[in-house]
Amino acid sequence: MRNILCFAVFHLATILDTARGDPIPRAIQDLNAATFESRAAATVSAAEPVVTVASTGTYLRVNSVTYANGTSGLIGAYTDTTDSGSNRILRVVQSTDEGQSWDIIGSVAQGEVATSDIDNPFPLQIVPGGRIICAYRNHDIDATTGDYTYYRITLSYSDDWGVSWSYLAQVTERAATSVNNGVWEPFCRLANDGTTIQCYYSSESAADDQDSLMQYSTDGGETWSTEIAVSGQNVTSRDGMTGVAVVEDDTLICVFENTEDGPFSIRSVLSYDDGLTWDETTRSIVYDPSNTVSTAQAPAIINVGGTLVVSFITNEDTPTDTSGDADGGTVKVITSLNTNIVWADKTSISTGAHWPGLYSLGSSDFLVLYGSDTVGVASREYTV
């Protein structure tokens, strides 16, 4: 049996107040190590070898896509640079065999490294058999000073399944100020109504403070709502790099990195109305590194047949690393029961890794996506 760590765990459930019709969270309770081990959700094991998606690049994010003929596949986007290194480009890949092979089919956007910062692509098909959108950070930089001058979360679209792309809208934008006020790392999902697009992102308010926000669109991404608070509003912490998954029905869980207790670690909050509001009282520990100087960052979360899976990157296996940055460390995953959220079964995926993501293939299998020092952009199938 794998070693099961209990750095901090929590047990959540929802009950229904029949008089009000509103979901009320039960009190969050700590579990001791024995209970934690007995409630471990599932064991993760590799199902297929590592697949090279591309020889260079990082920050791969993947979603499902259906084509006009009714067949289905996967659409992905990742960050790369051109051969000269002068331009950063968001490349698009597709797979028709559940991630066992990939083809580069297009690019969403590109810009000069000296004057722009284009990164964090997140693709999502919003019309079955039709339109795909991709959200990404799209910032301007002063070529002389290297300072940011303008921040955007930009949305582009494709009507030919990812081959060609055009500008659609800005989800949010703002001029840079003398204090940190950037926006980063969009995550998009369709709400349970099947048409409302939700875009989650990180929003800085100071060098040591950042919140997770969400805006939604009911017209295919052309216009966007005002900001909805997700996490970080009542604490000084760099909350960011959000990932969202359905627990069941309208209950969602959002995971994010944070600095509430010092070095980066992973926390979560819950929504009981499909993301329209988020309950800060449910803010809970997902994962703390195994020592006080290491970090855990860049989380992602998926629901695989009722088991929640969280990935993150950590430098905890190198306790002499006090850089405060886990990039280039080890990708790990932990799992949990669905409605009773108890994190366990830590599994190491790859060392020398960068900015991991996840994609659920169905009831038992999922893909771990990451930049790799050895193979470039990597994907590997696992079973839970």
Per-residue pLDDT of the chain (384 residues), as tens digits, is 333 333 333 333 333 333 334 433 333 333 322 233 334 567 899 999 999 999 999 999 999 999 999 999 999 999 999 988 899 999 999 999 999 999 999 999 999 999 999 999 999 999 999 999 999 999 999 999 999 999 999 999 999 999 999 999 999 999 999 999 999 999 999 999 999 999 999 999 999 999 999 999 999 999 999 999 999 999 999 999 999 999 999 999 999 999 999 999 999 999 999 999 999 999 999 999 999 999 999 999 999 999 999 999 999 999 899 999 999 999 999 999 866 788 998 999 999 999 999 999 999 999 999 999 999 999 999 999
Q: Hey, what domains does the chain have and what are their CATH numbers?
A: 14-383 (2.120.10.10)
Q: What is the pLDDT of residue 42?
A: 79
The Cα 170–Cα 181 span in angstroms is 16
Q: What is the pLDDT of residue 372?
A: 98
Identify any residues that bridge with 253 across adjacent strands, giving them in sequence order: 245, 270
Using CA atoms of 66, 67, 68, 71 in order, give the dihedral in degrees to the nearest 10: -80
CA distances from 287 to 67, 99, 335, 343 (A): 38, 28, 11, 8
> Residue 194: how many CA atoms within 13 Å on its side-chain side?
2
Residue 351 tokens read as 């060392």
> Residue 191: how many CA atoms within 13 Å on its side-chain side?
22
The Cα 118–Cα 189 span in angstroms is 21
Q: What is the pTM of this model?
A: 0.90
The Cα 214–Cα 130 span in angstroms is 24
Q: What is the pLDDT of residue 337?
A: 80
Rounded to 5 degrees, φ, ψ at 33 are: -60, -40
194 C-beta neighbours (distance < 10 Å), count: 9
Q: What is the pLDDT of residue 297?
A: 98
CA distances from 73 to 68, 83, 136, 381 (A): 12, 29, 22, 15
| E runs forming strands in 159-235 | 166-175, 183-190, 197-206, 209-217, 228-231
